[in-house]
């Protein structure tokens, strides 16, 4: 599957925050969830995700805490903040504006209805 990576640019943060809106998650889990939910279209790489999570934490859109799993493996969970919720909400509006604009140009009423 997978698509031209440059299409993904700009939407990754939105998608990660959306996952965290549903439940706290650790990095590796996000990669799997995103892959599963998108039916293998998004194959987010660890080298993309971890730096991104650190950035989101710096911006206070997420917070993190460590938790030990059954198998004694330590996982770093991320949780969305109030600021993160607000940010996600804005990004979703931008996303709607964006796809509407693309579809206006494509003249493709079948692609989206904003």
Partner DNA sequence: TTGACATATATAGATTGTCGATATATAATG
Partner DNA sequence: CATTATATATCGACAATCTATATATGTCAA
Q: Which residues contribute to the site for DNA (CB under 7 A)?
A: 5-6, 8-13, 26-29, 43-48, 50-54, 69, 71-73, 75-77
Based on CB atoms, which residue is closest to DNA, 69 or 109? 69
Candidate residues 29, 38, 63, 64; the one interacting with a copy of itself per rule CB under 8 A: 38
Q: How many residues bind a copy of itself (CB under 8 A)?
A: 41
> In sequence order, what DSSP letters do the residues of 22-58 get, joined into one string?
H--EEHHHHHHHHHHHTTTS----HHHHHHHHHHHHH
Per rule CB under 8 A, is residue 85 in the interface with a copy of itself? no
Q: Which does 50 bind (CB under 5 to 8 A by kind): DNA, a copy of itself, none?
A: DNA
Nearest residue to 80 via CA among 28, 6, 19, 27: 19
Nearest residue to 12 via CA among 60, 20, 114: 20
In 10 A of CB 52, how many CB atoms? Answer: 16
Q: Under the rule (CB under 8 A), what is the footprint of a copy of itself?
A: 1, 3-11, 14-15, 18-19, 34, 37-39, 41-42, 91-92, 94-102, 104-108, 110-114
């Amino acid at each position: 599957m997978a698509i031209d990576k440059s299409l993904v640019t700009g939407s990754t943060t939105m998608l990660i925050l959306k996952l965290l809106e549903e439940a706290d998650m650790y990095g590796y889990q996000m990669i799997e969830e995103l892959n599963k939910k998108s039916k293998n279209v998004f194959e987010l790489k660890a080298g993309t995700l971890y730096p991104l999570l650190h950035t989101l934490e710096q911006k206070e859109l997420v917070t993190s805490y460590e938790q030990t799993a059954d198998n004694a493996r330590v996982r770093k969970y991320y949780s969305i903040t109030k600021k993160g919720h607000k940010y996600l909400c804005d990004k979703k509006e931008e996303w709607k504006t964006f796809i509407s604009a693309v579809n206006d140009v494509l003249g493709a009423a079948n692609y989206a209805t904003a």
